């Protein structure tokens, strides 16, 4: 993949996760009231697992991004700049967003000619400060 394709790969992953969370978030309260939270969350995890299998490395994941509103990667929908740095079979894709939002850094690995996301970090930046990068959970 060239640099632009790596950025598109990351954006495709985050777009699918955002769409999944947007579909499930409005239903969560009703499912809690009905006492069906366990089955509801299991369905969410199953769908998230399919997305993760297509985009993430095979390392064991013990946590799935929670159902959130706005979605986990919502700030990326207003991307202002992306950068890609490569070293051998690894790449770092940074997605910078508009002032006062979250920035994201995705670390990718190419194994057997196939690129996958291994981890990501995020940070808040405002006009007055830029916080340090912290790891996010998939």
Cis peptide before 70 (omega within 30 of 0): yes
Taking 70 as the threshold, does the pLDDT of residue 100 lie above it? no
- If one compares 31 and 94, the residue with the highest pLDDT of the two is 94
- If one compares 78 and 11, the residue with the highest pLDDT of the two is 11
pLDDT of res. 110: 97
Q: How many CB atoms lie within 10 A of CB 122?
A: 20
pLDDT of res. 38: 82
pLDDT of res. 68: 86
What are the extents of the domains in the chain? Answer: 3-135
pLDDT of res. 6: 97
Task: Give the mean model confidence (pLDDT) for residues 127-134.
Answer: 88
pTM score of the predicted model = 0.90
Taking 70 as the threshold, does the pLDDT of residue 131 lie above it? yes
């Amino acid at each position: 993949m060239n640099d632009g394709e790596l950025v598109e790969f990351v954006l495709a992953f985050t777009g699918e996760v955002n769409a999944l969370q947007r579909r499930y978030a409005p239903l969560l309260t009703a499912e809690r009231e009905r006492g069906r939270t366990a089955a509801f969350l299991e369905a969410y995890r199953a769908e998230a697992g399919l997305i993760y299998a297509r985009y993430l490395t095979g390392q064991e994941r013990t946590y799935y991004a929670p159902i959130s509103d706005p979605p986990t990667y919502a700030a990326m929908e207003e991307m202002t700049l992306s950068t890609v740095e490569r070293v051998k079979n690894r790449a770092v894709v940074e997605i910078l967003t508009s002032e006062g939002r979250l920035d994201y850094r995705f670390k990718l690995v190419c194994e057997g000619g196939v690129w996958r996301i291994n981890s990501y970090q995020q940070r808040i930046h405002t006009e007055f400060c830029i916080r340090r990068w912290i790891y996010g959970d998939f």
